[in-house]
Structure 1
């Protein structure tokens, strides 16, 4: 199952090969035209309400989705599969339907219902990945990938419908659904498997899912606790500090960083276990990718996460200046974000400048998970500060 770095380039799908602009426009015409039509519709429909920064948000999302879809074709159909049902739910709400009188909304398309479907599918996919890696069953592995895709799609359906639902209580409540722990855990549980699927395709090996998906399953468990015990799935009005267009960029970009850092950490675990298995003659040595490939994927995940985390931190500082009157206040969340940034800046320096590879970098990546986890969750649960709106 493992694939060496030398044969990686030859086995990449066509969307990863070098293409001219003319070839891209011809091969990706439907994606480019469809996304452009959506952007034009948004402008035509809501331009009167746009300020300068709303244009920045729209252009950022448009360019980001356009390039990501061109680079990775599965994202195109996954986007369509997420957006169309979400729009169907919005249409039902617009025509007087509610979860109380519409069975589809109640059991499938309502934001909370879709998040629960996501949770069930991701738990099933986690089990399938674990069975696949221990039995070596390629068929179960394929089902694990399919279940993960289904969970990701339901997660983004839930977020899309939730966005519309925030306007139902009162028009002034409307906001992108990343304002409390429940919403950001739905985002984390949808985003992390999505990026994992990208790296799975690059590595052409499904065994890494047995390491990444159990942590996603743990996040799903926490999400279910927030839903069933804490009832944090209820829509509430935003506090004044969160009533900003910056949230549409800062939080999603931050979670791209969190997702990639998490994946890299768990690939580090896989690397270390494979190394142990090679010395002991265990089964993982044959089923996990080559060490060189895992080292490279781990580095790429951290590099991508670091890019988004850096931009998100800068945007957060600008947002803080507008909301609280200063770019930096040594709030616990800000301080731990800086710790995360310095940690991964150190990793990239050691990797790129010093040429460090192998077990030492795998340990660095794995241990970094605890730093990221505390920044993401621990600060909200145990510390107080300007970001205390995220507490339980």
Structure 2
């Protein structure tokens, strides 16, 4: 079997495995009492990750350069990053919630790359002169890993918003989310002394408190949904906290490469501008979580905005076909 045939087999196989993983995770959500479903889902995601790694390795051997020069290659590298982050998050938390949302994302990206792109866009081609640099591996790989990480974290924030929709819930307390949560319904202001422990929450406490409006004003979350919301909020924060340093390193590496290739660290190219916007959005999210102690819906809305911004930075800018980063993608 030649390398091209192997790549075609691996990309279709990765799609099939990720589709199976999605069904398994969704089945586990619908039928939580069925044993081994989470183990099957985790195994499927791990196999898909290895299949994509083998695909990228075969591509590297065939083309002779690190496979990140066109849309097909970057989409599979992005999917590899998503499955890797999924595996790390799931192992750290032991929760199947991660796979319920990451498996469809990974499967959708793989389907687009393997089934929707025309054949000529899936073929490897010689690098343009600007990409013949060791910085291709350093800058682009770190940026793609940051996109994958931030997408997963933002997607879980969107899931948090869906779980808590229509509910006036605000999680307050430790941004690390490493303490226990307890449900609390505040008493009316006229019956609670101003110096009562119920009137304030210590932002440095390891115990977070879910504050809900009185039942007669807004329906409250059930204990089960509250637990799901707390888990999503915690995992989302931790993953975004991992992706932000990667994005920072990727932008700095890109600036150094730009100075080497074009004689300027920053040219306000559309890709550079949107990378900066992405950085600012997630910097605002982390500032709100760490400095101001925000948790719950407010920072989740910021993260959900970041999900859209990442996609604009990754693909939307390239649709314009303008700027120094337009080669090797759509035009």
1:214 to 99, 104, 112: 104
1:116 to 1, 4, 12: 12
Q: Is the 8 A contact 1:380 1:390 kept in 2?
A: no
1:175 to 65, 71, 82: 65
SS at match of 1:389: coil
Q: Which has the larger radius of gyration?
A: 2
For residue 216 of structure 1, report the CA deviation from its aligned partner. Answer: 1.7
2:56 to 159, 170, 189: 159
For residue 273 of structure 1, report the CA deviation from its aligned partner. Answer: 2.7
SS at match of 2:250: helix
TM-score w.r.t. the length of structure 1 is 0.67
Q: Which runs of 5+ in 2 are unaligned?
A: 168-218
1:256 to 145, 162, 179: 145
2:252 matches 1:319: no
1:141 to 21, 38, 45: 38
Larger RCO: Structure 1 or Structure 2 (Cα < 8 Å, ≥ 6 residues apart)?
2
SS at match of 1:148: helix
For residue 317 of structure 1, report the CA deviation from its aligned partner. Answer: 0.6
For residue 293 of structure 1, report the CA deviation from its aligned partner. Answer: 3.4
Question: Which residue is equivalent to 1:38?
Answer: none
2:114 to 219, 224, 234: 224
For residue 385 of structure 1, report the CA deviation from its aligned partner. Answer: 0.9
1:46-102 deviations in Å (ceiling 9; x for gaps):
xxxxxxxxxxxxxxxxxxxxxxxxxxxxxxxxxxxxxxxxxxxxxxxxxxxx52xxx
TM-score w.r.t. the length of structure 2 is 0.78
Cα 1:313/1:361, change in 2 over 3 Å: same
CA RMSD of aligned residues (A): 2.1
Q: Is the 8 A contact 1:313 1:337 kept in 2?
A: yes
Cα 1:364/1:253, change in 2 over 3 Å: same
Structure 2 distance, partners of 1:341, 1:231, is 33
- Greater helix share, structure number: 1
Structure 2 distance, partners of 1:275, 1:163, is 44
How many residue pairs were aligned? 278
Q: Which runs of 5+ in 1 are unaligned?
A: 1-97, 100-104, 167-173
For residue 230 of structure 1, report the CA deviation from its aligned partner. Answer: 4.2
For residue 298 of structure 1, report the CA deviation from its aligned partner. Answer: 1.3
Structure 2 distance, partners of 1:289, 1:252, is 35
